[in-house]
Amino acid sequence: MSMISLILAHPDLGLRRQLAAGLRASGFVDLTCETHDLMTTYTAVEEQEPMAVLIAERLAMLPEFEVMRALFAALDVRWLVIKTRSAPGQAAAASPWDKRSDLFAIDPEVPPDELVGTLRSLTRTTRRRGAPAAPLPTAPASAGGPRSNRFILLGASTGGVDALLTVLSVFPPDCPPTFIVQHTGGGFGESLTRLLDRQCAAQVRPAVDGARVDHGQVVIAAGSRAHLHLAGGSPMKIALRAGEPISGHMPSVDALFTSALPGAPRAVAALLTGMGRDGAQGLKALRDAGATTFAQDEASCIVYGMPRAARDLGAVETSLPLPKIGPALLQACASPAATAHGRMTAR
């Protein structure tokens, strides 16, 4: 008889204890951990790699849950949502990515044997473990030849976690220097960085003030209280600069994009799925200054806000479905870049 390793995540202590008692009475469930918030749950899932997670709907509706959902996919963790009962006449809330979600909601009053039966059905298939698929051969390796002098800039918001995983999954270990701003809640930047790093061939690390970024390295600013700027040099130096939100965000995609203007002819930039307009003006300035610019197309976006704003400004050279963006970025970097006005100077 195989046991189902399970984490139960719910902020309501009384309901959590009620569910835990029923689960522990079963001979099929090993309840390894009880948690009350997303951050604790994320850490527990990352460390324990359970077969399944039972999580409160109110936690699953938080914007930061997309980082959690991507971790579930990476580890092949099955999950169920515990419904939140709506008041009479009140419609249930919806998250922007519901159309792509695999939410499977259950009533909190479901009998324990029925809940265990559902869990057994959910976890019956073999877990898909192992390393992620090898990157696609989209760009020639740099070994034995000169490296491209280009660099990549990415901005994303709602739905961006899955989008970044898709884009970065095709990057080779020696990819061009890559700089990312992803809107996410405070505290989830490190979790997202670890998730991307474990799934990608290149090294993914958090943006640190004064760090140098070379080929094979991807830096990400997410959930931080400073804007990510490029500060020139070779290898390229980054700076984290405090200040007010730009385009309503901290860190801001616009701040990253505009900081790259001195090296625009060498820049290859893309705006991915996201709500609002952050990054649109910066992408337009980059294109006007000679950068190569892309945006995710409407059909593949969870929220077609930022890419639409950029398209409407004339900032986008090419709109592409998500699976084609990574290969297009690498192909653009493989092409020679103008250097007469494209050299970023140290600042």
pLDDT at 141: 41
Beta strands in the chain (DSSP E): 4-9, 29-35, 52-56, 78-82, 105-106, 151-156, 178-182, 203-206, 212-213, 217-221, 227-230, 236-241, 267-271, 292-296, 318-320
Beta bridge partners of 8: 34, 54
Q: Give yes or no for a contact between 315 and 270, defined as CB atoms under 8 angstroms apart.
A: no
pLDDT at 127: 56
Nearest 10 degrees: Cα torsion 237, 242, 244, 250: 60
Tokens 């009620």 — which residue? 18
In three-state secondary structure terms, 179 is: strand
Which residues of the chain fall below pLDDT 70? 1, 85-104, 125-146, 337-347
Q: Name all domains of the chain by residue range, CATH numbers in brackets.
A: 4-122 (3.40.50.2300), 151-334 (3.40.50.180)
pLDDT at 144: 43
Strands 151-156, 105-106: pairing is unpaired
pLDDT at 89: 53
pLDDT at 262: 97
Q: Give yes or no for a contact between 290 and 312, defined as CB atoms under 8 angstroms apart.
A: no
pLDDT at 143: 43
pLDDT at 146: 67
Contacts of 1 (CB under 8 A, 6+ apart): 27, 28
The answer for 340, left when phi > 0, alpha when psi is -120 to 50, beta otherwise, is alpha
Q: Which residues are catalytic?
A: 157, 183, 278
Please tell me the distance from the alpha carbon of residue 304 to that of residue 59, in angstroms, as a whole number.
24
pLDDT at 336: 77
pLDDT at 148: 83
State both tokens at 177. 């220097």
pLDDT at 347: 36
Per-residue pLDDT reduced to its tens digit, 100-129 = 445 568 888 889 999 998 888 888 765 554
Please tell me the distance from the alpha carbon of residue 344 to that of residue 346, in angstroms, as a whole number.
7
- Length of the chain equals 347
pLDDT at 122: 81
pLDDT at 338: 56
